[in-house]
Amino acid sequence: MAQGKSLRISLHGVLLDVLGVGVLILGKSGVGKTECALDLVMHGHRLVADDLIQIEKGGGGAVHGFSHELGRHHMEIRGLGIIDIEQLFGISATSEKKQIDLVIELVDPEECITDRLGLETETYTIMGLEIPRKRIPVRPGRNLTAIVEVATRDHLLKKRGYHAAREFERKLLKGLKKKG
């Protein structure tokens, strides 16, 4: 590889800036990735890329995502067609490029066995880099926007050293020792 050039791949999904965190939403076609992303934009978060995300690994080892020029700022909403997020919501609703910090995978509940306490840490590998991943079962009536926002806030807390599930487990074990 020539010096100064970065390797580039493409992934299907949606990339957003949620609370300053680069959140990549993945899942099968029709699972609700774009609708979830649209709702996140309506809650003040920023769209980076929808559908086909260009990803490159920079010199620092982090992976960054961005939109192909043709699709920049656009989303395809089933039943509406193509919409322009920047024109609808203003320039503050979009971002050109973002480091990918967290992967949210929207999955069929029948195909997903999740750690209900949240003690296990799952990762998703992009270009050799392990990125924290949360698998979210999609069911009718679930507020995916709220779940993605909370997953992002939890990710930020973990980066600061606070792990809610481990703290809960510690308190539970301490309480059981006192009773036993």
- The catalytically annotated residue of 17, 33, 73, 135 is 33
Please indicate whether residue 155 is annotated as part of the active site. no
Write down the pLDDT at residue 65.
98
The least confident of 5-9, 76-80, 81-85, 124-128 is: 5-9
pLDDT beyond 90 at 58: no
Please indicate whether residue 51 is annotated as part of the active site. yes
Q: Considering the domain boundaries, does residue 150 fall inside one?
A: yes
Give the model confidence (pLDDT) of 99-158 as tens digits: 999 999 999 888 877 777 778 889 999 999 999 999 999 998 899 999 999 999 999 999
Please indicate whether residue 33 is annotated as part of the active site. yes
Write down the pLDDT at residue 180.
65
CATH of the domain at 172: 3.40.50.300
Write down the pLDDT at residue 2.
42
Write down the pLDDT at residue 5.
57
The average confidence (pLDDT) of the chain is 92
pLDDT beyond 50 at 38: yes
The answer to whether residues 66 and 40 touch, using CB atoms and an 8 Å cutoff, is no
Write down the pLDDT at residue 179.
75
The answer to whether residues 18 and 152 touch, using CB atoms and an 8 Å cutoff, is yes
Between these two residues, 177 and 136, which has the higher pLDDT value?
A: 136
Q: Considering the domain boundaries, does residue 153 fall inside one?
A: yes
- The catalytically annotated residue of 5, 78, 116, 174 is 116
Please indicate whether residue 12 is annotated as part of the active site. yes
Give the model confidence (pLDDT) of 88-116 as tens digits: 999 999 999 999 999 999 998 888 777 77
Domain count, the chain: 1
Q: Considering the domain boundaries, does residue 1 fall inside one?
A: no
The answer to whether residues 93 and 46 touch, using CB atoms and an 8 Å cutoff, is yes
Percent of the chain whose pLDDT exceeds 70: 96
pLDDT beyond 70 at 6: no
Q: Considering the domain boundaries, does residue 83 fall inside one?
A: yes
Percent of the chain whose pLDDT exceeds 90: 72
* Domain of residue 153, residue span: 8-179
Half-sphere exposure of 174 (CA within 13 A, CB side): 6
Residue count (the chain): 180
Q: Which two tokens stand for residue 46?
A: 């920023």
- 3-class DSSP state of 101: coil
pLDDT beyond 50 at 1: no
- 3-class DSSP state of 122: strand
- The catalytically annotated residue of 17, 46, 50, 51 is 51
